[in-house]
Chain A
Amino acid sequence: MKTLIIILLFSASIIQAQTLVLSTGVEKTVANTESQFMMGYQSKKQRSIGTFYQNNVNRFISENNPKQSYWYGVFTALPIAKSEKISVYAMLRAGLMDEQFVVIVPSLETKIKVSKWLAVGVASSYRQGYPAFSFKTQFSLFNQSTL
């Protein structure tokens, strides 16, 4: 966890961040449903970098793997199509599952800007060999354009 904080602070200094973004949501994979928390910085060009944490939602833990699974790591996202209200991003998450397994997940995210501070996003990704889908809400803090 310390490493993640250091990476985050380091990233902030090198990308001259414009906006601190926090997001929370859920991701449905072939195995279970996970809650998702992300924190990162978004540049003027809408490039993002940050950290994330995800864990199983208890109700959906598999009988075959009856333990609380979690993973955390870093993410980066680049816009591949932008407009004032809707943007599409290519995202890559890389992290450590259950403190043991390195996992790398590519995804495609569509984000809809609801207000200056709030956006909602849906994403599809490739997890455990199958498509996974997520929904999240994102809050922009310290948005320079609003200061």
Chain B
Amino acid sequence: MKTRIVILSLSAIMLFTACEPEADLYRNFHLKEGEHFASPRLVESLQSSRLAFYAKFDESCRYIFEETSFQDCKNKLLGFSDCNNMHHENSARFTWQWFNNQMEIYAYCYVNGERIEKFIGVVELEKENRYEIELTPDAYLFKLNDQESVSITRSATCTKGMYYMLWPYFGGTLPAPHDMHLSIKIIY
């Protein structure tokens, strides 16, 4: 019996203290031609008042629509719905669009059903950039790399509840014109 306890204790110590290389936590998302939702489709909830992550767009994320009026439709990167709200009521997300031959990043929120967009910056393809949304009692603070935060006023909703995560989605109105790939690594 003592031997069994010793073996179990040693196993537990090894399990929780062993040194090992840091795991690659990048998740690769694939936007298929003709579809809006990226795969894999994930279900998670926000568990902290700060959502920070790295994202990288590859060359496939350039696109030109024949109908140019759709070129400034925002594609969703990552964010969350606010406390017990559906995302078209209250939510905060980073979005992206290939516009003016560059990758533009926006803050994109629904506040009491009203959509609010604010330009944040431009990023390069194939490069890792840091994104952060901080949830404060009265605002969503969006930060790209070391730039100053962009603030969007938050509606007074509940304070305790479910905040479901919103994953990459192409559109807007039109689906992906060709296959695209992007990677996201959430910082915990």
Contacts and interface: CB of A to CB of B under 8 A. Distances in A.
A101 interface: yes
B16 A30 contact: no
A65 to B, nearest CB: 6
B116 interface: no
B16 A64 contact: no
Interface stretch (B41-49, B68-76, B172-180): B41-49
B188 A33 contact: no
A28 B13 CA distance: 12
A101 B25 contact: no
Interface stretch (B96-104, B139-147, B160-168): B160-168
Nearest to B50: A65
B187 interface: yes
B188 A32 contact: yes
Interface residues of B, number: 26
Contact of B159 (A69, A100, A128): A100
Contact of A101 (B1, B46, B188): B46
B4 interface: yes
Interface string B110-141: 00000000000000000000000000000000
A38 B122 CA distance: 48
Interface in A100-147: 100-104, 112, 114-115, 120, 128-130, 133, 135
**What band does the interface of chain A fall in when counting residues whose beta carbon is under 8 Å from B?**
20 to 34
B47 A101 contact: yes
Given A65-B188, A129-B42, A135-B15, A98 B48 contact: yes
Given A62-B188, A102-B160, A135-B15, A97 B47 contact: yes
A20 interface: no
26 contacts: A26-B16, A28-B15, A29-B188, A30-B188, A31-B188, A32-B188, A62-B188, A64-B50, A64-B188, A97-B47, A97-B48, A98-B49, A99-B160, A100-B83, A100-B160, A101-B48, A101-B162, A102-B45, A102-B163, A114-B1, A114-B5, A115-B1, A120-B5, A128-B188, A129-B42, A130-B25
Interface of A: 26, 28-33, 62, 64-65, 69, 96-104, 112, 114-115, 120, 128-130, 133, 135
